[in-house]
Amino acid sequence: MEWLVIVLYGVTLLIICLFSLGQFNLTWHYLKAKKQIEETSEELFEYPLVTIQLPVYNERYVVERLIDAVIKIQYPKDKLEIQILDDSNDETVQIIEKKVNEYAANRWNIQQMRRPDRVGYKAGALAYGMERAKGEFIAIFDADFVPNPEFLIRTLPKFRNEKVGMVQTKWSHLNTDYGSLTKIQAFWLDAHFTVEQKGREHAGSFINFNGTAGVWRKVCIKDAGGWQYDTITEDLDLSYRAQLKGWKFVYREEIESPAELPVLIPAVKSQQYRWNKGAAETARKTLGKVLTSNIGWNHKIRAIFHLLNSSVFLLLLIAAVLSIPMLYIKEYNPDLALVFDLGSIFIIGFLAMGFFYWVAAKATHPEYTFRYFIKNFPIFLAFSMGMALHNSIAVVEGYLGIKTPFVRTPKFNVQSKGDSWKGNQYLSQVLTPVTFMEGLLSIYFIYGIFSGFKLEDYGLMLFHGMLAIGFAYVFILSVKPMKYPS
């Protein structure tokens, strides 16, 4: 049993280290990409017909903001088609109808499209709209986004290359400084939308459409098999199918598309659940096709890390739970000390991950990089650890093919600390066994801290401390009553 614990602990740490080295490789490519001079001021000389799709489901608090922002996009009115793919069953329907009538009266080509049923959720809505779309290109925005007026005139020039099937822009944030949760999310998302996406593009490896704030060539969607809803991350699924067909994707870091970050833990959890489970579902569906494709092995390795990235939460949870028994195995088996000492090599993985986020912090906050990084990196790590149980369950369900309903992320229309979500009809605070397990795990890792003192083995003290804080933080936010800003 002791050797089973040792081997499982060692294997999980080794794989986590490999994922971290994968991030280091992307960081190296990102830094090389930043040294290259890239033409970003291309002009748009022709104006192809563009369809803008707005998939909406019960978004009464933000849908007007979205529609008004789309109308302000700088593009010839006669070359623009706006589809509001409305699956709502509340007063959002009437709000959209009023807005559509208002803009249609001013000769905008704008439609509220309602399906007879909600089959396939967002993917089904996008497929329904595409069948009726007239545009050569399709831009997609989720309800929490506020598109930049120059979005189309800055993205469409990249499609002069006929092999380009999709252009993705960088997400920026409307409410980063609202609270600790929004700051943590911004810290992580900024790293994805700088180092990770640009690094993959520079390496010539697969990148992904992020579900919103991007433009597709319609024939690319069709050639890849269209929108499919056998996963809950239809964006990642279609991205891989399209690139396996030979289509090229372009990432535009310099074009920002502002969006609202969730401000409450139930909303964050629903979003994280969908992203992590959907990634596992897509890996289950696509990984074999990637491995048998004719792309280079370097690209296959990056694709493996990309598709399996959500598994890090499961590996982290296993390593964390086993780390306390490991303390006692080490104490009562001094002959195994060398085995444990070899574990220090995994500090390389931590340093690689730290470098990844340091470069991202430098790219997004060049004026005060050190202060921003030191303040946010430890908080981000603790929170990620605290989400390990919740996200691991999502990952396991994805790999096992367990189907669950699509859970939307509630929107608040909250941008500053004075904004209130009081009376928001989409909020729900449901306490589950997982929530109480998070509380118990916090106590478990506090016990790990005491064990370190008892055994005079302080090597895992910081690790256990961050785990205890992370699980306690997530647990407390999940159980405390929601308080509304005044």
How far apart, in whole angstroms, are the C-alpha atoms of residue 199 and residue 193?
A: 10
Residue 244 has pLDDT above 50, yes or no: yes
Q: For strands 248-259 and 214-217, give the pairing.
A: unpaired
Judge whether residue 486 has pLDDT over 50.
no
Q: What is the pTM of this model?
A: 0.94
What whole-number distance in Å separates Cα of residue 176 and Cα of residue 265? 15
Residues 207-234 have pLDDT tens digits of: 999 999 999 999 999 999 999 999 999 9
87 is catalytic: yes
Question: What pLDDT digit, counting tens, does each position of 249-263 carry?
Answer: 999 999 999 999 998
- Does residue 432 or residue 87 have the better pLDDT? 87
Of 86, 87, 142, 190, which one is the catalytic site residue? 87
**In 324-342, which positions are buried (b, 16+ CB within 10 angstroms) versus exposed (e)?**
bbbbebbeeeeeeeebbee
Predicted pLDDT at 459: 85
Q: In the chain, what percentage of residues exceed pLDDT 90?
A: 81
For residue 102, what pLDDT is reported?
Answer: 97
- pLDDT for 63 equals 96
Percent of the chain with pLDDT over 70: 93
**Residue pair 286/243 in contact by the 8 Å Cβ criterion:** no
Residue 100 has pLDDT above 90, yes or no: yes
Q: What is the pLDDT of residue 409?
A: 79
Q: Identify the active-site residue in 86, 142, 144, 235.
A: 235
pLDDT tens figures, 399-411: 999 988 777 777 7
pLDDT given for residue 247 in this prediction: 98
Q: What is the 3-state secondary structure (H, E, C) of 87-147?
A: CCCCCHHHHHHHHHHHHHCCCCCEEEECCCCCCCHHHHHHHHHHHHCCCCEEEECCCCECC
Decide which of 333 and 41 is more confident. Answer: 333
- Residue 169: the pLDDT is 98
For helices 265-291 and 234-244, the axis angle rounded to 10 degrees is 20
pLDDT tops 90 at residue 429: no
List % helix, strand, coil for the chain (3-state, nearest 5): 60, 10, 30
State the Cα–Cα distance between residues 369 and 357, nearest whole angstrom.
Answer: 11
Averaged pLDDT score across all residues of the chain: 92
Structure tokens at 147: 């598109």
What integer pLDDT is reported at residue 342 of this predicted model?
60
pLDDT at residue 420 greater than cutoff 70: no
pLDDT tens string 154-182: 999 999 999 999 999 999 999 999 989 99
Q: Is 457 a catalytic residue?
A: no
List, for residues 321-364, the tens digit of each pLDDT value.
Answer: 999 999 898 888 877 666 666 666 678 888 999 999 999 999 99
Residue with tokens 């994968």: 22
Q: Is residue 413 predicted with pLDDT exceeding 60?
A: yes
